[in-house]
Amino acid sequence: METLYVELGERSYPIYIGSDLIRADVLAQHIPSSQVMIVTNETVAPLYLDTLLSSLPGFKVDVIRLPDGEAYKTLEHWTLIFDALLSCRHNRTTTLIALGGGVVGDMTGFAAACYQRGVPFIQIPTTLLSQVDSSVGGKTGVNHPMGKNMIGAFHQPVAVIADTQVLNTLPDKELSAGLAEVIKYGLIYDPDFFDWLEHNMEALREKEPTALATAIYKSCRIKADIVAQDERESGVRALLNLGHTFGHAIEAHAGYGAWLHGEAVAAGTMMAVNLSLKEGWLSIADAERIERIFVAAGLPVKPPRDMTESHFRELMAVDKKVVDGSLRLILLEQIGRGVVTGSFSSEHLSATITEMTA
């Protein structure tokens, strides 16, 4: 087991990374009273709830199961957590445990932020994406019909348990989607990690535990470094959005869920790579390395075939934003160095969209 400390003053917390970590000796030290509420979903509960329950001897444990999927990341379903907490008479010393992917983690964290004005929560992310993404940063929340993650809070967990063993039941497609974010960390911040990923992609796709633990550790460390510089997202933290502006357009076009977030980010990153190339930053050789690693990770490197130039222009509000100067993108100066910038040629951007949708 490796332990990574996310340093945030009095809100610092450990991320435990390794195999077979859903255990009493890991959990109990982070639970201050006898009350625990597990929040999970209908897909994860049959797989890991028993393991978690048997790791909480001596605690008064209640469980709420939410339906599985981004469609249920709503205020309506979020309130079910409060109904459960109050029905089971949990007081302000209770601890919430999120057992599931990003949706469960975001909703549980937000409920913990607001129950009696704040109670502790532990995250046990069960997808690679949530292990490398929502483990760090303290962003919690739910969607509103008019926008994703519009309602939420910054609330740090008291501990995160990233157990590589739970990834054994993760579908390959979701593993690949998580790898998109892992690759992103190398691209924006750490060329050595990118090299390492090139050499270990096969082991990662085969779910080799040591390789997974290394990838998770390095990803979380990079994210923690960036978040520590910018907890409230006013500057450098935007780097984490590499590929996301193009990616969100892809998700919106395909319909959320039709393309996994990580898949859209991979294709979106290739668009950022294409533009970075035109700006004279990346070499062709580096652009090809990036394309190869996404392919090796089982990820798309182009937007959906039916997406046209005008789809992108409209979904990204390109014309309006270019006029008012508000379009900022994350581009790559080189592998391992991302930049947040509004300084790129709008002709280059147009050419990128044209080429990538050809």
Nearest to 122 by CA among 104, 146, 142: 104
**Cβ–Cβ contacts within 10 Å for residue 202, how many?**
10
315 near a copy of itself, rule: CB under 8 A: no
256 near a copy of itself, rule: CB under 8 A: no
53 near a copy of itself, rule: CB under 8 A: no
The CA-atom distances, in angstroms, between 262 and each of 9, 172, 266, 268, 300 are 31, 12, 6, 10, 10
139 is catalytic: yes
Contact status, residue 140 vs residue 152, Cβ threshold 8 Å:
yes
Task: Give the shortest CB-124-to-a copy of itself separation in angstroms.
Answer: 23
Cβ nearer to a copy of itself, comparing 110 with 294 = 110
Local structure of residue 163 (DSSP, 8 states): E
Contact status, residue 125 vs residue 105, Cβ threshold 8 Å:
yes
Amino acid identity of residue 11, one-letter, is R
Rounded CA gap, 25 and 280, in Å?
53
Cβ nearer to a copy of itself, comparing 87 with 345 = 87
Contact status, residue 301 vs residue 266, Cβ threshold 8 Å:
yes
168 is catalytic: no
Contact status, residue 132 vs residue 104, Cβ threshold 8 Å:
no
82 near a copy of itself, rule: CB under 8 A: yes
> Of residues 29, 34, 54, 87, which one binds a copy of itself by CB under 8 A?
87
Structure tokens of 56?
């909480």
Cβ nearer to a copy of itself, comparing 39 with 216 = 39
253 is catalytic: no
72 appears as a binding residue in the annotation:
yes
Q: Which of 155, 218, 221, 223 is catalytic?
A: 223
Q: What are phi and psi of 90, to 5 degrees?
A: -80, 135
Contact segment (CB under 8 A) with a copy of itself among 81-89, 205-213, 277-285, 301-309 equals 81-89
Contact segment (CB under 8 A) with a copy of itself among 29-37, 111-119, 175-183, 207-215 equals 111-119
Task: Give the shortest CB-143-to-a copy of itself separation in angstroms.
Answer: 11
Contact segment (CB under 8 A) with a copy of itself among 31-39, 82-90, 184-192, 312-320 equals 82-90
Instruction: List binding-site positions.
Output: 68-73, 102-106, 126-127, 139, 148, 181, 244, 261
